């Protein structure tokens, strides 16, 4: 005859089997760990730097001086090949007009948006808002850090208040 003492143990065993499924490998735990990690990432609050300068490989403010004409010329050619299909200077096209972007956003923000658009639209409040409005992702065109910096220099020349070279 079974006693009361043994019955709860069987119940526990049954539950363990139920929740473990047939595989019951530690892979399941690994997956859960991953999920937690991913959730954790989203929940992390942005630092003051990230709020102002965006999230990405550029971790310090970009010091901007007089326009570097050679760099701006390089930036123009990169922009025309990889960006101009979606961005115009004076008008909203697929993405926002960029003529005055350097007066709206910091240099580091612009570079991080170019270099790390996926994470920016997932986590940065401004980029998230823009995605919600436009419904189209900023394409990652895989620019190098130097190319992104050159595009920034070109964009500076497009502003009505552009600093003199």
Partner 1 sequence: MFRTAHVLAGAALLATLGCATSSKPIGAAGDAASRVYVAPGEHDELYAFMSGGFSGNVTVYGLPSGRLLQQIAVFSQYPEKGYGYSEQTKAMFNTSYGFVPWDDAHHPQLSITNGQADGRWLFINGNNTPRIARIDLTRFETEEIIEIPNSSGGHGSPYITENSEYAVSATRFALPTPQEDMSIKDGKFGGMLSFVKIDPTTGGMTLAFQIHVPGYDYDLARSGKGPSRDWSFFTSYNSEEAKTLLEANASQKDKDYIAAVNRKAAEACVAGGKAKNWNTPYAHNRVGEDGMARTEMIKTQKVLEVTDCPGLLYFLPTPKSPHGVDVDPTGEFIVAGGKLATTIPVHSFSKMVKAIADKAFDGDVGGIPVLKYEAIIAGEVQNPGLGPLHTEFDGKGYAYTSIFISSEIVKFSLKDFTVVDRVPTYYSIGHLMIPGGDTEKPYGKYVIALNKITKDRYLPTGPELTQSGQLYDISGDKMKLLLDFPMTGEPHYAQALPASVLKEKSQKTYSLTDNKDAYATKSEKDVKVVRQGTRVHVYMTAIRSHFLPDNIEGIQVGDSVFFHLTNLEQDWDVPHGFAMLGAQNSELLIMPGQTRTLTWQPQRPGVYPFYCTDFCSALHQEMQGYIRVSVKGSSVPLVWNGGSGTLGK
CA 86 – CA 104 distance, rounded (Å): 19
Return the closest-CA partner of residue 112 out of 99, 97, 98, 127. 127
Q: Which is nearer to partner 1, 52 or 80 (CB)?
A: 80
CA 94 – CA 65 distance, rounded (Å): 30
**Site track for partner 1 across 16-35, x = CB under 8 A:** -xx---xx-x-x--xx--x-
Using CB under 8 A as the binding rule, whether residue 157 contacts partner 1 is answered as no
Q: Is residue 114 exposed (0-12), middle (13-18) or buried (19+ Cβ within 10 Å)?
A: buried
Question: Which of the residues 104 through 143 are near partner 1 (CB under 8 A)?
Answer: 135-137, 139-143
Using CB under 8 A as the binding rule, whether residue 159 contacts partner 1 is answered as no
Using CB under 8 A as the binding rule, whether residue 41 contacts partner 1 is answered as no
Q: Which is nearer to partner 1, 31 or 90 (CB)?
A: 31
* 101's tokens: 């972007």
Return the closest-CA partner of residue 55 out of 114, 112, 127, 102. 112
Residues that bind partner 1 (CB under 8 A): 2, 4, 7, 10-11, 14, 17-18, 22-23, 25, 27, 30-31, 34, 80-82, 84-86, 94, 135-137, 139-143
């Amino acid at each position: 005859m079974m006693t009361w003492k043994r019955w709860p143990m069987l119940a526990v065993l049954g539950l363990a089997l139920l929740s473990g499924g047939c595989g019951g490998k530690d892979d399941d735990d690994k997956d859960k760990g991953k999920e937690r990690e991913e959730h954790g990432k989203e929940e992390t609050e942005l630092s003051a730097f990230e709020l102002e300068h965006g999230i990405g490989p550029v971790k310090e403010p970009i010091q901007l001086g007089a326009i570097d004409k050679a760099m701006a010329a390089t930036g123009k050619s990169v922009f025309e090949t990889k960006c101009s299909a979606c961005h115009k200077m004076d008008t909203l096209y697929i993405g926002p007009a960029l003529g005055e972007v350097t007066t709206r956003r910091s240099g580091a923000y612009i570079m991080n948006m170019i270099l790390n658009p996926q994470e920016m639209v997932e986590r940065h409040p401004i980029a998230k808002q823009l995605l919600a409005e436009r419904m189209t992702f900023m394409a990652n065109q895989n620019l190098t850090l130097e190319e992104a910096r050159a595009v920034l220099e070109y964009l500076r020349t497009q502003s009505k208040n552009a600093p003199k070279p």
